[in-house]
Amino acid sequence: MPSRLLATLLALAVTGCTKPEAPIAENQEDPVLVSAESSTQGADDESADESSEESSDDATEDSAETKQEPAETTAAEAIEEPSEAVLRELEFQRYDAIKKMGGLPVQVTATGRQLTLHPTLYEVHKESCHPIPQGKPGEFECSLRIKLSLAPDGSNPSEQGERISVKRTTKGEWVLH
């Protein structure tokens, strides 16, 4: 009992109160005492017990947060990356649009000569796709290996790498980003 009285007086001194809110019975816990003991470490054994309980509560909260993170991650990963057929279709649409525009006008920097390239696309192969960092769910950057010709007659095709960004619309369709 004397240690409880000492702890109560210490709690009152720490919180700045001049008197306890209500008399404390022997088997009753004082709310002021509990809050003061958790803020003053080493006041007595009860404060050590309180701080260990708080740390276990913090650990429980941390584990609850880590349990929630994978659920959010799996929701973002639920959107599958586009298939090779989808990427092929998007790439052919893009090169068809270039043809409809009349080709790609370019200028040779060293000579200043201007010409128009007429690319002809032959093949598209998907190498990899990954979600765009800090992008919205459903946005991907895909690496492709394409076979195309820049000659007006479509002769002498060559392979090259290309990257495109695609996203999935709310209707579930893939479009260029």
Return the domain boundaries, the chain. 2-76, 84-176
* Mean pLDDT confidence for 79-92: 94
The whole-number pLDDT of residue 9 equals 52
The whole-number pLDDT of residue 36 equals 41
Q: pLDDT per residue over 118-171, tens digit each?
A: 999 999 999 999 999 999 999 999 999 999 999 888 899 999 999 999 999 999
Between these two residues, 43 and 79, which has the higher pLDDT value? 79
Q: pLDDT per residue over 91-117, tens digit each?
A: 999 999 999 999 999 999 999 999 999
Verdict on whether the full-model pTM lies above 0.85: no
- Give the percent of the chain with pLDDT over 90: 50
Between these two residues, 23 and 84, which has the higher pLDDT value? 84
The mean pLDDT value of the chain amounts to 74
Q: Which of 136, 134, 124 is nearest to 167 (CA)?
A: 136
The SS3 of residue 176 is strand
d(CA 86, CA 78): 18
Between these two residues, 89 and 45, which has the higher pLDDT value? 89
Helix-strand-coil split of the chain, %, nearest 5: 40, 25, 35
